[in-house]
Chains A and B, each alone.
Chain A
Amino acid sequence: MNITVDEMEKMTGAMSSAELASERHSRTTVGDFTAADPRMTCRNVDVWYGSKQAINGVSLDIGKNEVVSMIGPSGCGKSTFLRCLNRMNDTIDGCRVTGSIQLDGQEIYDKSLDPVPLRAQVGMVFQKPNPFPKSIYENVAYGPRIHGLTNSKAELDELVESSLEKAGLWKEVKDRLDQPGTGLSGGQQQRLCIARTIAVSPEVILMDEPCSALDPIATAIIEELIDELRANYSIAIVTHSMQQAARVSQRTAYFHLGDLIEVGETNQIFTNPQHRLTEDYITGRFG
């Protein structure tokens, strides 16, 4: 890709004078980045790793009961952006986030806000299944125990069962809850991680390429699960598979080199992309 900033600007249309005046060279995103009933709202989010800028002024909403997928070539910043939403980037040395990210109207980067309970509200499922080296039961009970969500052993048992049930794993593991979670198959492990996340009843679930380490059958099961989970949670999913984005999400955001290039209804993005970069990517010309 040999596109200069000038060319990019021509493609994305004229920038407003306010943006030209600003120090950031943030670009206008094509399409409507707001959601009708937003749970999380992000405005002009910049992320820096040391002196290197990874995200340029991204604005995006995540609505209630919807799945937003983020696609784009490797290194485009989609995972970085996702990790901002539950402040997981705090654990990385030299990472700095500016701009506004709100969860239900509450600024999550506010100095007075403690990131620890935030992460219970905004759960996360990782690329590689990462069950703790504990039993299946303990994996799911981990979060509720830490947050004191249950008052008795019976309540905890119930919560573990319902979480595993929601993650579609209960039938497969109900007879071996005391066995190590690491002994499950890759797909089962990932569903265990989803159950673990559900157990602390989050509002938003972030998924960072949740199926990239799984075979097609396990992937299909997880995709079906994501669609079911939409009824109760808001979901943001980063994926490298455009088919997956098309199958599971209602809205799709296309990232490129730290910029949010285009966002819109999934159908529209995949059938009628407005931006040339988006079109190039989804038609497989690069990426």
Chain B
Amino acid sequence: MYAWTLIVVLLMVMALAYHLGRKRAIASAGGVTQINTLHSLPSYYGLYAAIWAGLPALLLMGLWFGFQDQIVTSLVTANLPAEMLDGQSSGRVGLILNDIKNLATGNIVSATVTPEVQAAADQYARLARIANWAMWLAVLAVAVGGMAYAWLRTEPQMRARNRVESIFKFIMITFSSIAILTTLGIVLSVVFESFRFFQMISPLEFFLGTNWSPQIALRADQVGASGAFGAIPLFTGTLMVSLIAMLVAVPIGLMSAIYLAEYAPRNVRSIAKPVIEVLAGIPTVVYGFFAALTVAPLIRDLGALAGLNVASESALAAGLVMGIMIIPFVSSLSDDVINAVPQSMRDGSYALGATQSETIRRVIIPAALPGIVGGILLAVSRAIGETMIVVMAAGLSANLTANPLDSVTTVTVQIVTLLTGDQEFDSAKTLAAFALGLTLFLVTLVLNVIALSIVRKYREQYE
């Protein structure tokens, strides 16, 4: 008896309810010829009945899935012999329960099967079967009950159309709250883990320390694993790479936007704009190996020619390639705001005898500036959060340096390295990733809020 079978049955009940509701509405009006005495069209009475049959039953089913396992597990745990659980850590208990569940569902079991475990597994399987049957009965009962309720309420004066309307509104609200609650959930989980981190490492050390070396010694005599969590080198590294990226992206993106919006003939524009936007469609991992395998060696060789010592993983290489990746963000956002400047502004300027470039410099750019700044801030937050390129091209060593030819590391790179592979999730090392993530999130959030408020302010100007 699978869950999806139940859903199919429920859908069938709903279809039946729709049909019956509709028929009853027509009957209560006194036949098809009398439909105009109904408050709403018959199909609304049908929909109303179908919703009553389906929605409460589906809600009950959801709740059941949410809590069945918990209840059954707690019942099984209560029946386990006390000596099996005494003195065990919560992790061990979890493992035992996992074994029981695996045994009950016929999966591979990690430990040897003792009679106690076998008994518990049998009990688990029995309870789960009962619960499953109970769910079928309960859900179908609710569905039929809902249908009956709608059936009884169907009469010509019932405002079925308005009720369906408010139910749909409720469904929309539910779905949008799912999106909002998910965001909230992610933020809260990061916040709580960061809180755990800051209990181990003081925020002062994290935000002001200049030494980043998150390896923690497993043995007392281990060398080179002091566990230092000063994140300043990561922040400066992120800042430097983003700065280089913006130095590439802003001029190129802005100039190409101005060319496309003001000078380019229509046929050039129709080709050039999509081509530039292709840059946004290239996967960042491709940019990553372009940076690591093409740009970085090129810069190193050029540096060697000029007698400079360039690291093979330099901030410059990562920043340059990231800048190229961000060009389409800057150019297409700027293009939009430049196009949003009304033609009448241009006409006004031309009519005073201004040239095209004077018009652009003195009228169009100042008018579009808030929007352009907003676009650039959005691009900055994109640059700060960008991971793949810097993982591949910027390096891992947390150098506190102002030299773009050196290797630096960024917040995102460190989060990746801290969480890659098998990790324990109660050490300061892995929890540091959450603190870094929280910092990153807050910075990009603030940038986005500023950017959006600037963009909004700009919009008001012409309305």
Which residues on A are within 8 Å of B, measured CB to CB? 86, 88, 91, 93, 116-121, 123-124, 126, 128, 130-134, 142-143, 146-147, 182, 193, 196-197, 200
Instruction: Give the docked Cα–Cα distance between A123 and B367 (Å).
Output: 22
B363 to chain A, nearest CB (A): 5
Which residues of chain A come closer than 8 Å to B348, judged between CB atoms? 126, 130-132, 193, 196
Instruction: Return the 9 tightest CB-CB contacts between A and B, nearest first.
Output: A120-B353, A130-B344, A124-B351, A143-B352, A119-B353, A130-B348, A133-B367, A146-B354, A116-B355
Q: Are B353 and A200 in contact (CB under 8 A)?
A: yes
Chain B residues with CB under 8 A of A196? 348, 352
Given contacts A133-B367, A142-B362, A146-B358, contact A197 B344 (CB under 8 A): no
A93-B265, A126-B347, A134-B366 given; name 18 further pairs at CB < 8 Å.
A91-B350, A93-B266, A119-B350, A119-B352, A120-B352, A124-B347, A124-B351, A126-B348, A130-B345, A130-B347, A132-B348, A132-B363, A132-B367, A133-B345, A142-B354, A142-B362, A146-B358, A200-B352
List of A residues within 8 angstroms of B349 by Cβ: 132, 142
Q: Is the CB of A91 within 8 A of B347?
A: yes
By a CB distance below 8 angstroms, the chain A residues around B266 are 93
- Alpha-carbon gap, A119 to B347, bound state (A): 11
Contact B362 A197 (CB under 8 A): no
Size class of the B contact interface (CB-based, 8 Å): 20 to 34
- Given A132-B367, A134-B366, A182-B461; A91-B346 close (CB under 8 Å): yes
Shortest B262–chain A CB gap in Å is: 11
The answer to whether B353 touches A116, judged by C-beta atoms less than 8 angstroms apart, is yes
Q: Name the A residues within 8 Å of B461 (CB-CB).
A: 133, 182
Give the chain A neighbours of B352 by CB distance below 8 A. 119-120, 123, 142-143, 146, 196-197, 200
Count of CB-CB pairs between chains A and B under 8 Å: 68
Whose C-beta in chain A lies nearest to the C-beta of B362? A142
Majority SS at the chain B contact face: helix
Whether B81 sits at the interface, judged by CB under 8 Å, is no
Q: What CA separation (Å) do A128 and B347 show in the bound complex?
A: 11
Tell me if B342 counts as interface (CB < 8 A to partner A): yes
Contact A128 B350, CB 8 Å, known A133-B366, A146-B362: no
Chain A hits for B347, CB < 8 A? 88, 91, 124, 126, 130
Q: How far is the CA of A146 from the CA of B353 in the complex (A)?
A: 8
Residues of B within 8 A of A93 (CB): 265-266
CB-defined contacts of B346 to chain A, threshold 8 Å: 91
Q: How far is the CB of B373 from chain A (nearest CB, A)?
A: 15
11 interchain pairs (CB within 8 A)? A86-B351, A88-B350, A91-B346, A91-B350, A93-B266, A116-B355, A142-B349, A142-B352, A146-B352, A146-B362, A197-B352
Complex: A146 Cα to B342 Cα, angstroms: 21
Q: Quick one: closest A residue to B363, CB to CB?
A: A132
Least Cβ distance of A84 to chain B in Å? 13
Q: How far is the CA of A146 from the CA of B302 in the complex (A)?
A: 44
Residue of B nearest to A86 (CB): B351
Q: Complex formed: what's the CA distance from A118 to B354 in Å?
A: 10
Closest to B461 in A: A133
